[in-house]
Amino acid sequence: MSRTEKILEFMRQEPGRSWSASEVSVHLDCAPNQAADAMRRMLKEGHLLRVDAGVYCLASRFERPAEATPEQESPPVPPQVTPEARDAFLGVMQTIGHPVHGTVIVARLRRSVPDFDLTHLGAVAAELRADGKIVRHSDGKYALPAWGKR
């Protein structure tokens, strides 16, 4: 079985979830750069969609089933951004004190915010960026405004 097939099989176990290359590499017992290369290839082939820097979800997650008509279909519901998630996100940023990669934030928030995943990360980060509480630092990292952008 090819690495692509293994990744697809693994990601289909939780089709609504987004995955980073490092998370996939742990489950497939390969180096993170090997998983990242395979996932970038899969993105070009149309198997995956890019959610954030280094974070992908199955493209089939957004495909319309053949039997569905536009009237039957409802648009995807964005994740709810709760005040608890916003506060927890900012708490992680302030505790760490330097630019942090999104996967680290998710790992920390999963302890305190139930069902927090990379999809929620994007929604919370977008709100906090709009409010000026955080900035996009570089390549998947977020920072407090004092650190600035790169």
Domain ranges for the chain: 3-62, 83-147
Which pLDDT score is estimated for 64?
Answer: 46
Evaluate whether 102 touches 53 at the Cβ level (below 8 Å).
yes
- pLDDT for residue 144: 87
139 or 101, which is more confident: 101
pLDDT of residue 149: 60
User: What is the C-alpha R_g of the chain?
Assistant: 17
More confident residue, 118 or 141: 141
Cα(137)–Cα(59) distance, rounded to whole angstroms? 27
What amino acid is encoded at 119 in this protein?
T
Average pLDDT, integer, range 63-84: 61
* Amino acid code (one letter) for 105: I
Compute the mean pLDDT over every residue in the chain, rounded to the nearest whole number: 80
Spatial separation of the C-alpha atoms in residues 14 and 42, rounded to whole Å? 17
Give me the mean pLDDT over the 107-136 stretch: 82
Reported as type and span, the H/E element at residue 90 is helix 83-96
Angle value at C-alpha 89, between 83 and 95, nearest 5 degrees:
130
pLDDT, tens digit (0-9, with 9 covering 90-100), for 11-56:
888 877 888 888 888 888 888 888 889 988 988 888 888 887 778 8
Three-state secondary-structure class, residue 46: coil
So what's the architecture of 83-147 in CATH? Orthogonal Bundle (1.10)
Single-letter amino acid, residue 145: P
Instruction: Identify the residue with better confidence: 14 or 65.
Output: 14
Domain 3-62, CATH class in plain words: mainly alpha
**Higher-pLDDT residue of 133, 113:** 133
Same topology for domains 3-62 and 83-147, yes or no? yes
